[in-house]
């Protein structure tokens, strides 16, 4: 992000730091929930990453990057050269996008399962294995080699519900953008952080029709789309999987739930 952004962004030694003094953060990542801190981090991990002592690992990475204070953190397998940021009004967002581990949600599971049968046997075996791992909870704290991470912040001071809703608005925008650009709504390890400035103008709502929500949707759309283009565009050798079976990792939700009148 440029220097005039509400949340200053710095990249050092594979750590992307989003900083705003005294900010309130709400994270879906490791050790997530509510935070009051000066910064949040998006940490790029190496191929074959298998650490499980994540608090210690994050502390090591912050020290190596020269960042002393701690806050909420996300993990990603995406190289930070593909990070992209956007700013509109009181809101700024930064995203890293990799979809080598897609999470498909077919509206007609039976039909799409038949389509997937055209994929290679090896691809189907990889997808089935990843599906079993995801359902059993194996390695649920660790990022896959992809991951779409989003950090969105506003200069406004949001009510508790509005901060939670900003997180939902950001995830909705991420999902819509990924569907349009990759054909998948997300990956097996996506995470997001929303933040606000307690010293800013007080705002009670952050829905899509508000200034904050509308700006957040636009920022997340542009940041995610630009990161996808950086990772998989014409100037790269990387390709977006055509299906879960075509991916190295992934999950397809073919299960059906019972519907009833409450």
- Domain extent listing, the chain: 8-252
pLDDT band at 38, cuts 50/70/90?
very high
115-174 confidence digits (pLDDT tens): 555 454 344 444 444 443 444 444 445 555 679 999 999 999 999 999 999 999 999 999
Phi, psi (deg, nearest 5) at residue 60: -60, -45
**Pairing state between β 15-27 and 8-12:** antiparallel
Q: What percent of the chain has pLDDT over 70?
A: 85
Which one-letter DSSP state was computed for residue 90?
Answer: T
Residues 206 and 216 sit within 8 Å (Cβ to Cβ): yes
- Cα–Cα dist 40/214, whole Å: 23
The angle subtended at Cα 151 by Cα 189 and Cα 27, nearest 5°, is 65
The whole-model pTM stands at 0.88
Average pLDDT over residues 180-186: 98
Mean pLDDT of the chain, nearest integer: 89
**pLDDT score recorded for residue 60:** 97
User: What DSSP state is assigned to residue 245?
Assistant: T
Contact 9, 103 (CB under 8 A): no
Strand partners, 11: 16
């Amino acid at each position: 992000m440029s220097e005039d952004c509400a949340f200053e962004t710095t990249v050092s030694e594979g750590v992307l730091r989003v900083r705003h003094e005294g900010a309130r953060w709400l994270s879906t990542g490791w050790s997530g929930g509510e935070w009051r801190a000066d910064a949040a981090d998006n940490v790029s991990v190496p191929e074959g990453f298998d650490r499980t002592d994540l608090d210690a690992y994050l502390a090591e990475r912050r020290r190596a990057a020269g960042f002393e204070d701690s806050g909420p953190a996300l993990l990603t397998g995406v190289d930070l050269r593909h990070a992209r940021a956007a700013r509109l009004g009181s809101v700024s967002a930064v995203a890293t996008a990799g979809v080598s581990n897609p999470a498909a949600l077919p509206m007609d599971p039976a039909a799409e399962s038949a389509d997937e049968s055209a994929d290679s046997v090896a691809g189907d075996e990889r997808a089935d294995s990843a599906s079993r791992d995801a359902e059993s909870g194996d390695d649920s704290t660790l990022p896959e080699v992809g991951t779409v991470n989003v950090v969105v912040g506003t200069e406004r001071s949001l009510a508790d519900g509005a901060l939670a809703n900003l997180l939902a608005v950001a995830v909705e925008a991420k999902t819509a953008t990924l569907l349009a650009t990759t054909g998948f709504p997300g990956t097996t390890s996506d995470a997001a952080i929303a933040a606000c400035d307690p010293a800013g103008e007080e705002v009670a709502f952050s829905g899509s029709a508000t200034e904050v929500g509308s700006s957040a949707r636009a920022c997340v759309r542009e940041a995610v789309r630009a990161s996808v283009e950086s990772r998989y565009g014409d100037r790269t050798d990387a390709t977006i999987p055509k299906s879960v079976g075509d991916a190295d990792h992934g999950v397809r939700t073919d299960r059906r739930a019972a519907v009833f009148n409450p």
